[in-house]
């Protein structure tokens, strides 16, 4: 693993080194004890909302062909499935009946966090004139050559580990794009977000986790397995990562993380307007330059309805990812408490 202390130059607009040379938490550092106490004051009625989809939703793998939904099967013992298995079979007289299962899935299929190592960028951090894959704070994750061997153990740096150990709890703020723009496909600019925040009197504080409600997860939840899921590719809002004012707003806001109920928070580019650059500019800006994790496919619609009915936008958010070392993304069951 190459430590961040070895980089000589950082990308324009990056905060590398600001939280220390070996930091892998990024702007989650802004969720400190003071921020948590302030966030807890948003609990006024003691109601909680799970913000996770069932992890088999979407029910068709249309949003990202390399990610597969979960497959559940019973665990096995000596060729026998251990599901509704009477232990009296092994120990006469035992009355226990045991069920165990095994799940195989892509950890980024449904409601999840992107760890900082999920997206890196080709950048000349050494000042040698040669660009190389590098992530937040100058760290490099495991190389592709290592990844294709049988010794692959996940990311050596910028994995989900620091996020899970930090235990993400803070002040969540919901920006309700669906209420203002509906379910039609729309690229959302900084000007759009500014207008929504002004209309809904939304105030952001240092360390907040901003949640964008678009409605896409709600549409996915209400599609049955046989329905045409292609609608998920052509519906709802997505942030315009090509808008420099939007990226600058993210930097200046001092929020700690972004989450959305759509597929990737931003709209992915499939072609480049210029000769070189990212297909996922918001991912590069947040994950690589600022160390800001991204939450995707959170289910925000029920919470959004309650907040609007009660003229609120902030809540206490608990959202630690599943702690499996080395992963660059992980399922999460975020809980909002109001």
In this prediction, residue 286 has a pLDDT band, given cuts at 50, 70 and 90, of very high
- In a domain, residue 185? The reply is yes
- Angle of helix 244-253 relative to helix 190-199, nearest 10 degrees, comes to 50
Give the total number of structural domains in the chain: 1
Mean pLDDT of 182-199: 98
- In a domain, residue 170? The reply is yes
pTM for this structure?
Answer: 0.94
pLDDT in tens, 84-128: 999 999 999 999 999 999 999 999 999 999 999 999 999 999 999
- Domain with 39 in it: 30-63+107-117+158-337
Mean pLDDT of 230-253: 97
Residue 3 has pLDDT above 50, yes or no: no
Residue 145 has pLDDT above 60, yes or no: no
- In a domain, residue 2? The reply is no
pLDDT in tens, 147-175: 666 677 889 899 999 999 999 999 999 99
- In a domain, residue 301? The reply is yes
pLDDT in tens, 38-66: 999 999 999 999 999 999 999 999 999 89
Q: Domain with 238 in it: what CATH number? A: 3.50.30.50
pLDDT in tens, 193-218: 999 999 999 999 999 999 999 999 99
- In a domain, residue 6? The reply is no
Residue 283 has pLDDT above 90, yes or no: yes
- In a domain, residue 34? The reply is yes
- In a domain, residue 90? The reply is no
């Amino acid at each position: 693993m190459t430590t961040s202390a070895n980089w000589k130059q950082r990308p324009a607009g990056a905060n590398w080194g600001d939280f220390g040379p070996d930091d892998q938490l990024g702007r989650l550092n802004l969720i400190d004890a003071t921020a948590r106490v302030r966030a807890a004051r948003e609990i006024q009625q003691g109601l909680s909302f799970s913000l996770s989809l069932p992890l088999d939703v979407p029910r068709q793998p249309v949003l990202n062909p390399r990610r597969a939904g979960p497959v559940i099967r019973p665990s096995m013992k000596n060729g026998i499935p251990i599901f509704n298995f009477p232990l009296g079979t092994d120990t006469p007289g035992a009355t226990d009946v045991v069920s165990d299962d095994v799940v195989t899935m892509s950890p980024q299929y449904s409601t999840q966090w992107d760890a900082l190592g999920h997206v890196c960028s080709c950048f000349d951090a050494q000042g040698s004139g040669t660009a190389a894959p590098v992530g937040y704070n100058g760290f490099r994750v495991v190389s592709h050559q290592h990844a294709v061997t049988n010794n692959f153990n996940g990311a050596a740096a910028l994995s989900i580990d620091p996020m899970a150990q930090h235990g993400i709890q803070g002040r969540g703020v919901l920006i309700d794009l669906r209420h203002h723009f509906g379910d039609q496909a729309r690229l959302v600019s900084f000007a759009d977000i500014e207008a929504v925040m002004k209309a809904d009197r939304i105030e952001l504080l240092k360390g907040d986790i901003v949640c964008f409600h678009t409605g896409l997860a709600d549409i996915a939840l209400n599609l049955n397995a046989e329905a045409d899921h292609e609608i998920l590719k052509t519906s709802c809002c997505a942030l315009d990562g090509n808008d420099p004012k939007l990226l600058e707003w993210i930097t200046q806001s001092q929020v700690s993380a972004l989450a959305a109920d759509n597929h990737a928070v931003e709209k992915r580019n499939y072609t480049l307007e210029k000769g070189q650059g990212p297909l996922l500019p918001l991912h590069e800006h947040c994950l690589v330059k600022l160390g800001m994790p991204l939450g995707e496919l959170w289910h925000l619609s029920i919470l959004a309805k309650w907040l609007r009915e009660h003229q609120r936008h902030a809540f206490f958010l608990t959202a630690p990812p599943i702690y499996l070392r080395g992963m660059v993304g992980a399922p999460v069951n975020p809980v909002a408490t109001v």
